[in-house]
Amino acid sequence: MPQFLATTDTDFEARFVALLGAKREDSPDVDAVVADIIADIRARGDAAVIDLTAKFDRLDLTPETMRFSPAEIDAECALVSDEDRAALELAAKRIRAYHSRQMPADEMWTDEVGATLGWRWTPVSAAGLYVPGGLASYPSSVLMNAIPAKVAGVGRLAIVVPTPDGISNPLVVLAAQIAGVDEIYRIGGAQAIAALAYGTDTIAPVDKITGPGNAFVAAAKRRVFGKVGIDMIAGPSEILVIADSDNDPDWIALDLLSQAEHDESAQSLLITDSADFGRAVAAAVDKRLETLERRAIAGKSWADFGAVITVRDMDEAVTLSDRIAPEHLELCTADADGLAARVTHAGAIFIGGWTPEAIGDYIGGPNHVLPTARSARFSSGLSVMDFIKRTTMARMTPEALAAIGPSAERLATSESLQAHGLSVRARLDRINQP
């Protein structure tokens, strides 16, 4: 049974704060273990990767078999049905088209003193994508991570995907091929993150690592950050649906369950201005849980972390939504566009009753790698911007330096950085020579 809250309750604020602060991440303290794994990879390279893969994935590898060969990739792709291939290709086309519009422009201009200023965008040279294996093996995640990297112009893209007992997912391999991935390695865990960050004899190091993973993968990404860039440390999935009573309760129930079925620690929230509608949705969730394949997972998520919140009006709904800063926000209201314009904090917004969040997970176009755990207050979902960096440009003429150089010299002197000031003064003196 989820929580039922109403903003008219005298204890609402305390209960709402407790809801926001509930610890959902089941993250044991694995940092010490991960530190040892990373040290082992740095010291022994391929040998450590092979030993750890045998230990955790029950798969015996050699340096020659760590990477999928072209023949193995072709064989895996041949196992995919025409219908699944067509769905992946359509998703890839839409994701690529959306992310192509994100590419920023280089700029150069000359200002009023004659200085030429600007910036230039360039891609990282190599990126690594972590793809979970086993039951949580998602080809959609391959597309969402790899396509923005390729659109950004990343020269080399490698993915690591664990294959426990040697079992791989043909859809993942095909998604990698469609997205333009250059290398696929059948390894996972913290050891795969360390191999991407520091390199081994077989795996060349990368500049940035993206992609979801378990607690060990998350801890490894934290530890290698600085040596390489990372996208984010994502927590359990979450959805907030704001809906009025002019909706089908079953539709809203399914939208809530679409995230609850991900993980027992996922969170599904409903905000509505109708208590009766909220109860109808909760009843619809219970009915759907009777037949849902992942009902054990979804049911526990809904019971432990789900909530139905009744508000006086949609003004309160927007205020609460911004406090929640949800990963996914569905707006199923009469004025969904107007509501969307007022929302400040959300990873992704799905506008109107005909836009289920699941469309965004697969084929809408925007990225499904999104900030969780209220981090949408200060961060964004994955985009081409994660795979490019900005280099600033400046060129002075003698006239420009004469105009602004004295102020630079004065500021350098105020900071007691003599050489800074002298490097400017030497040029000013040359300009002032008769």
CA 97 to chain centre: 19
CB burial class (10 A; 0-12, 13-18, 19+) of residue 150? buried
Minimal CA–CA distance to 428: which of 406, 407, 408?
Answer: 406
Cα gap 206→200, rounded to integer Å = 11
- Rounded to 10 degrees, what is the CA torsion of 381, 123, 67, 33? -60
Minimal CA–CA distance to 111: which of 426, 393, 389?
Answer: 393
Q: Are the beta carbons of 131 and 173 closer than 8 angstroms?
A: no
Q: Are the beta carbons of 262 and 237 closer than 8 angstroms?
A: yes
Q: Are the beta carbons of 299 and 270 closer than 8 angstroms?
A: no
The residue count of the chain comes to 434
- Helices 170-179 & 70-78 angle (0-180, nearest 10): 110
- Helices 398-414 & 418-432 angle (0-180, nearest 10): 150
Q: Examine the residue annotation and report whether 89 is marked as an active-site residue of this protein.
A: no
Cα gap 231→428, rounded to integer Å = 45
Cα gap 261→266, rounded to integer Å = 8
Per-residue exposure over 261-288, b if at least 16 CB sit within 10 Å of its own CB, e if not: bbbbbbbbbbbbbbeebbebbbebbeeb
Apex 395 CA angle, 389 and 396, nearest 5: 150
Which of 327, 330, 357, 409 is catalytic? The answer is: 327
Residue 264 has, within 13 A of its CA and on its CB side, a CA count of 5
Q: Examine the residue annotation and report whether 345 is marked as an active-site residue of this protein.
A: no
Apex 42 CA angle, 39 and 48, nearest 5: 85
Cα gap 414→63, rounded to integer Å = 58
CA 75 to chain centre: 30
Which of 76, 99, 238, 328 is catalytic? The answer is: 328
Indicate which residues carry an active-site annotation.
327-328
